[in-house]
Amino acid sequence: MKKLIIRLLIVLVAVYVLLSLLDFKGEYSAERSLWHINQQMNLLEREPEAVPDFTFEQIIRRYRDFIKAYSHSPLVPQAYMWIAKVDLVRKNYDAARKVYAEIPAAFPHDPQHIAEAMAAIGETYEVQKDWPQAQEQYQKTIRLYPTTVVGLKLPLYIASRQAQNDPADKSEAFGRAITQYKNVLEHSRDKEIRTAALKLMVSADLARQDWPQVVKYCREMLMADADERSLREAIYVINVAAIVHMKNYDLPVEIYKEFMKKYPQHPMIGLFKGMVVNITRLKTNHVKITPRQEGK
């Protein structure tokens, strides 16, 4: 009996050791290693004033060791971002900016991470209440990497910050963001980027309550046959903008019919047919939906 247990235990341990060795220093161990360092960092972040400086140094060392040990991991840029965050937590903004500046040099062919790092530098200026410097950094990011995730989000972010600082400039600020997105649409053929740009344009026009423009950009999204999630979002926004705010029942019906004509075999065709029927019924029954009822 004891022999059996020992033999079976040996098999289990051998399988464990073998499978661990086969993925030694692999992506999974990188994830685990970074997660554990991040956990320690999250603890420090709760009360940074109570944390002695050498603890921060120690955690930075751990991140640096991680970068050395898993130099080929796609998580390395994240590790750099975390190192900078350690400096941000202890309000050492210059040091944080230095770390962010390491990223373009370390990943010259990774525009997403470079843009993220550049925007993060802008954020550090913002934390220091240096908006002109932050804005300059953001604009630089948009100029150099307009089609990255961060590069796409920044025009809308800048507009909302400008609108916050100067409410009178709200419409102009969002208008500038839209101009930048139109520029992206002109130059990019990538479907995902175009959908993202259109979505952001919709957000900008929603912010300034320009309902006809909102419907126009959503219609463009539909006709470009975006992904299912984006289509559903566009349908929702069209319904709210056209029916609730513009009191125009014909416009969405017209758009959905146009979509059905263009994509008769589309997997979501049933949804569009249902929309047309329901909106027509609302119109026939003279049902008025006010903004307050819209969520019901």
Partner 1 sequence: MTSKSLRPKPFAVLNSSISILFQHPIIFYPLVISVFFQLLALEIFYFAPRPPLSVFFAPLISRLWGPEFLHYPYNFLLLPKLFYYAQVVIYLFAGGFLLAVSIRLIGAFNNDKKMSVKEAWKDCWPSYIHVLLASFLSFFLFFAFAKSYNNLYIWAAKIQAKGGVHGFIKHAILGSGLYVQFLVGILITAVLIYVIPIIVLEKKKIFPAIGLGLKFFWQSFWFTIVVVLVPTLFYLPVLLARDKIPALMTVTFPEIELVVLVVSTICATLVDCIIAAAVTTYYLYTKENPARPSA
274 torsion bin: left (phi>0), alpha (psi -120 to 50), beta (else): alpha
The residue (of 1 and 168) whose beta carbon lies closer to partner 1 is: 1
The residue (of 19 and 105) whose beta carbon lies closer to partner 1 is: 19
116: nearest Cα among 89, 64, 77: 77
The total number of residues shown for the chain amounts to 296
The residue (of 16 and 236) whose beta carbon lies closer to partner 1 is: 16
116 phi and psi angles, rounded to 5 deg: -60, -45
Instruction: For residues 35 and 29, give the distance between their C-alpha atoms in angstroms, rounded to a whole number.
Output: 10
Q: How far apart are CB 34 and partner 1 at their closest, in Å?
A: 9
The b-or-e profile of 59-95 (16+ CB within 10 A means b, else e) is bbebbeebbeebeebebbbbbbbbbbbbbbbbebbeb
The residue (of 24 and 54) whose beta carbon lies closer to partner 1 is: 24
Q: How far apart are CB 133 and partner 1 at their closest, in Å?
A: 37
Placement of tokens 């329901």 in the chain = 278
Contacts of 92 by beta carbon, 8 Å cutoff, 6+ apart: none
What token pair was written down for 233? 């979002």
The residue (of 19 and 168) whose beta carbon lies closer to partner 1 is: 19
Q: How far apart are CB 235 and partner 1 at their closest, in Å?
A: 24
The residue (of 14 and 277) whose beta carbon lies closer to partner 1 is: 14
Q: How far apart are CB 33 and partner 1 at their closest, in Å?
A: 9
* Interaction site with partner 1 (CB under 8 A): 1, 4-5, 8, 11-12, 15-16, 19-20, 22-23, 26-28, 31-32, 35-36
Q: How far apart are CB 32 and partner 1 at their closest, in Å?
A: 5
Q: How far apart are CB 194 and partner 1 at their closest, in Å?
A: 24
